[in-house]
Amino acid sequence: MEQMPFPRHLDAPQRIFFFTIDQIAVFSTLFIFGVMLGRPFLLSMVGIVLAMLITRYRDSRPDGHALHIGWWFGILPLKGRATINPFDREILPL
């Protein structure tokens, strides 16, 4: 059994038992869709595999990568004076 370290910082990812919030969100969303479609076992297995793939992807990237991707595609608008419009792909000097 892998030993889980006690979080020492406030910005450590929140955990419910051994799982992070993003793993639980992916699994529970696909499980709910599976119940609605009548295939809870199949979609819960897909949810487990997808949660593992997302975790592997997240761990291989720097912190804040998901926020940057959300900003880049315009899903997550950032607030602040220095934040530029994410749809302006070419910035020219004045």
Strand partners, 16: 19
Q: What is the pLDDT of residues 12-67, one digit of tens each?
A: 667 777 788 888 889 999 999 999 999 999 999 999 999 999 889 888 988 888 88
* Gap between the Cα atoms of 77 and 79, Å rounded: 7
This prediction has a pTM of 0.63
Residue 45 lies in a domain: yes
Q: How many domains does the chain have?
A: 1
Domain coverage including residue 41: 19-72
Residue 33 lies in a domain: yes
Residue 84 lies in a domain: no
Residue 34 lies in a domain: yes
* Gap between the Cα atoms of 23 and 55, Å rounded: 7
Determine contact, residues 51/65, Cβ cutoff 8 Å. Answer: no
Residue 48 lies in a domain: yes
Per DSSP, the three-state class of 62 is coil
Residue 25 lies in a domain: yes
Handedness of CA 37, 41, 46, 48 (dihedral sign): positive
Residue 92 lies in a domain: no
